[in-house]
Amino acid sequence: MIEVSESTVVDAPVDVVFAFMDDPHNHVTVTPSLAEARNVESLANGGKRLDYTFRMAGVALDGELVETTHEPDERIVLEMRGQLTGEIDLAFESLEGRTRLTYTGRYEVPGRVLSAVAAPFVRRYNERELRTTLANVKTRVETGT
């Protein structure tokens, strides 16, 4: 399993940042490799279930995201199912009108041999993806675009 985690402080209240990240369509606008979010359904826990397409090195990978934890203004946890498996954990911390958003991704790399060879590449790729995603969230929320 590969785990990457980064934080950023967004100059917006926690409820605004949470609402932005709670909309799966916004993830497509901020996550460089996320090509599509579709078939979004509401769940009884307040979360969402959706199908997604992720593009990595020109390859389209399809799967499902299920929000297993939905704690308004505090935490969202999404389970990744399909060709990619893992978990996305979004933590929100109120900082007197600002918000610390921490994004932690835990990803399985299939196959023992593939894992050993691909792990360093996958880690670097995900670290860059995560930094870019958080920078994009910060810009989109702070500018309202």
Q: How far, in Å, CA of 130 to CA of 90, rounded?
A: 12
Number of helices (H) and strands (E), helices first, in the chain? 3, 7
The 10s digit of each residue's pLDDT in 5-62 is 999 999 999 999 999 999 999 999 999 888 999 999 999 999 999 999 988 777 788 9
Q: Above 50 in pLDDT, residue 113?
A: no
Task: Evaluate if residue 120 carries a pLDDT over 60.
Answer: yes
State how far the alpha carbon of 140 is from the alpha carbons of 43, 94, 124, 127, in Å.
Answer: 26, 18, 24, 20
In this predicted structure, the answer to whether residue 130 has a pLDDT above a threshold of 90 is no
Q: Of all residues in the chain, what percent carry a pLDDT higher than 70?
A: 89
Q: How far apart are CA 83 and CA 112, in angstroms?
A: 16
Query: How confident is the model at residue 127, as a pLDDT?
Result: 83
**Cβ atoms of 53 and 36 closer than 8 Å:** yes
Asked if 97 and 13 count as a contact pair (C-beta separation under 8 A), the reply is: yes
Can you give the pLDDT at residue 111?
57
pLDDT band at 119 (very low <50, low <70, confident <90, very high): low
Q: Is the dihedral of CA 54, 51, 105, 145 positive or negative?
A: positive
Residues 117 and 14: their CA atoms lie apart, in Å, by 40
The predicted-structure confidence for 73-84, as pLDDT tens digits, reads as follows 999 999 999 888
Q: Kindly list the structural domains of the chain, giving each domain's residue range(s) and its CATH number in brackets, ordered by start.
A: 2-143 (3.30.530.20)
Q: Whose CA is closest to 141, among 99, 103, 95?
A: 99
Helix axes 14-21, 112-143, angle to 10 degrees: 130
User: What is residue 55's predicted lDDT score, i.e. its pLDDT?
Assistant: 83
